[in-house]
Amino acid sequence: MLSAMAPLASELSSPVNAIPQSGSGIGVRALQVHRTFPGGVHALEGIDLDIVPGSFVALVGPSGCGKSTLLRIIAGLDTASSGRVELEPSSGQVLASRAPIAYVFQDAHLLPWRTVLDNAALPLELSGVSKPERHAAAREVLAQVGLGEFTARHPGQLSGGMRMRVSLARALVTRPRLLLMDEPFGALDELTRGRLDEQLRGLWHELGMTVLFVTHSLSEAAWLAERVVVFSPRPGRIVLDRVLDLPRERSASLRLEPAFAREVQVLSDAMVRGGA
């Protein structure tokens, strides 16, 4: 269970005894990233990406095209067969391997015997932050995801959407500068997913981190992100890299507007062109 938790090995091993301050987002640059797995599966081919610090980018593409592989390489959980990934703060210098990154998966991966508060505080506990301090930080972030009243509950007493919000809180409690999300709301119903999308977009505005969000829903990608990268079927290549022509304020009603439908159509055309 622990291996699937949000905090990365680099965070777990770091001797942080204080809660990191919120910082601005970091940039991500992928340079000709290829990944072939032992056994010959060719997952990614020639990925070039330059992600501006603090931006919100969605990655879409058919199942098996290497989206998760790319996130794992960016997180340092896997390595490119050739090419490289650089993480950099806005100042331009390249960060050392210990970057403040958090990862959210499709399954919430909560510890069922722990309260919501202690689940959200876990990354800080593992890095040695004192109990009063980590509880205060976890309370703050739980309030931010709308779970301020539920800190004493256990995961079994929550809905799927609430569990995912605990998972998001646990990722945010470290004040990451890069948030990697791998189909986080894919298992939720449409209405719950829409609410979580709104909450996430609000948190992104508030906290200023860079978000890389994998989804196979074109409309979710278009509603959430400023920029959408569309991948071809395996081996994943980029078939479209587009800054969306949509307002910065995303209201629920945007989903009904012609401009939104046009953007979704552009993404859909690219998927078809890419061979999906």
Ligand X SMILES: Nc1ncnc2c1ncn2[C@@H]1O[C@H](COP(=O)(O)OP(=O)(O)O)[C@@H](O)[C@H]1O
Q: In the bound complex, which residue of the shown chain has the CB atom lying closest to Mg ion? A: 68
Q: Is residue 139 close enough to count as binding ligand X by CB under 6 A? A: no
Least separation in angstroms between CB 106 and Mg ion: 8
DSSP element (H, E) containing 10? helix 9-12
* Partner from Mg ion, ligand X, none binding residue 43, C-beta < 5-8 Å depending on class: ligand X
| Segment near Mg ion (CB under 5 A); pick from 18-26, 43-51, 65-73, 136-144 | 65-73
Q: Is residue 68 close enough to count as binding Mg ion by CB under 5 A? A: yes
Is residue 163 helix, strand or coil? helix
Q: Is residue 85 close enough to count as binding ligand X by CB under 6 A? A: no
Specify the residue, 65 or 229, whose C-beta has the smaller distance to ligand X. 65
**Is 150 within 8 Å of 158 (Cβ atoms)?**
yes
Binders of Mg ion: how many residues, by CB under 5 A?
A: 1
- Among 17, 24, 32, 63, indicate the residue that binds ligand X (CB under 6 A): 63
* Partner from ligand X, Mg ion, none binding residue 41, C-beta < 5-8 Å depending on class: ligand X
Q: Which two tokens stand for residue 234?
A: 């395996």
Give the per-residue contact string, 9-48, with ligand X (x = CB under 6 A; - = no): ----------------------------x-x-x-x-----
Least separation in angstroms between CB 66 and Mg ion: 8
* Partner from ligand X, Mg ion, none binding residue 201, C-beta < 5-8 Å depending on class: none
Q: Is residue 66 close enough to count as binding ligand X by CB under 6 A? A: yes
**Is 216 within 8 Å of 61 (Cβ atoms)?**
yes
Binders of ligand X: how many residues, by CB under 6 A?
A: 13
In whole angstroms, give the CA distance from residue 140 to residue 66. 35
Binding residues vs Mg ion (CB under 5 A): 68
Binding residues vs ligand X (CB under 6 A): 37, 39, 41, 43, 61, 63-69, 234
